[in-house]
Copies of this chain bind each other. A is one copy, B any other.
């Protein structure tokens, strides 16, 4: 049914080798011959078999995505990651790569042996999302020198790097906005301690507050986990404080929305009684009322950056420096956030 390269060759009156060369734009083939082969190929609707191609070329024009969606069952969706996936797909499409979704749990044999998965499919690169960066399986993957790019995940290695929001800058934007409005008692609701965005935004908050000459009492740091409920709970704790904050920076929009809800439940009005700023600018941020003031990430740009980075690492000749060169891969790409002022921030009462 499917027409193979030998058929094309035969109908063109050349050998399969020549046909292959013609089709793959090799230099040493007569123009007339190439034209003839290309013509019959088009005519026959020839499409090279990717399996065979990958087998002999040892590459597959495919990158894999490792994304542990286990949290969905217990906590619900995470919009930003979904947006990111779409962006990744779109950016990848333009480069000609396909994207294969691998499930850490899909290999019954070795539950999370990313190295094997990648090798089995001759993946040219791997993108990682929402997995614990400290997993041995991730270390092993990086050590295997297969091109890797982390999305909001600090993977570094000879052929690995990552993209993420510039959390320091973004957080500073939020704090400056709040301070600029006149707030001095500013608290934060943090993301999970294990995730880079959580950690960096937590640290960025302290730094930005210090830069603004503001104090951060320990009780003004309420721990959350990026999901709605944790924002609700954290805000309740903050509001119960003897000296509650007049503004809150939440490390994620979902938590910020939870915080707003908690404030309203407590009989407060946002932003009159308390201001709230989020991070990410997920779709609901513009839909809730009042609209959430937040630090927006350009997820399409982030997807593009991730692909650029990955392509760059893939293209990089695997030159091992002296002594096997434990060289670092390209520098991470930090994408600046922009402040999106909506309706949850105002000067303190």
Contact = CB atoms under 8 A, between A and B. Distances in A.
B72 A96 contact: no
Given A257-B287, A284-B288, A48 B120 contact: yes
A82 interface: yes
Given A83-B82, A257-B287, A283-B79, A51 B60 contact: yes
A101 B50 CA distance: 15
Given A89-B103, A99-B100, A55 B49 contact: yes
Nearest to A55: B51
Contacts of A62: 100
A17 interface: no
Contacts of A82: 77, 79, 82-83, 85-86
Nearest to A260: B289
A300 B55 CA distance: 35
A119 interface: yes
A4 B70 CA distance: 32
A93 B86 contact: no
Interface string A63-76: 00001010010001
Given A89-B69, A93-B103, A106-B93, A50 B120 contact: yes
A122 B72 contact: no
Contacts of A52: 51, 55
Contacts of A199: none
Task: Please classify how large the interface on chain A is, using the bins under 10, 10 to 19, 20 to 34, 35 or more.
Answer: 35 or more
> Which among A50, A89, A101, A284 has the highest number of chain B CB atoms within 10 Å?
A101
Interface string A36-67: 00000000010111111011000010100001
Contacts of A284: 283-284, 287-288
Nearest to A95: B106
> Which among A52, A69, A85, A283 has the highest number of chain B CB atoms within 10 Å?
A283
Contact of A106 (B96, B100, B122): B96
A263 to B, nearest CB: 12
A98 interface: yes
> Which among A55, A83, A85, A102 has the highest number of chain B CB atoms within 10 Å?
A55
Nearest to A47: B116
B288 A51 contact: no
30 contacts: A2-B119, A47-B119, A50-B120, A50-B122, A51-B51, A51-B52, A55-B55, A62-B100, A69-B86, A69-B90, A72-B86, A79-B283, A82-B86, A89-B103, A90-B103, A92-B101, A92-B103, A93-B105, A94-B106, A98-B100, A98-B106, A99-B101, A257-B287, A264-B289, A284-B284, A284-B287, A284-B288, A287-B287, A288-B289, A289-B289
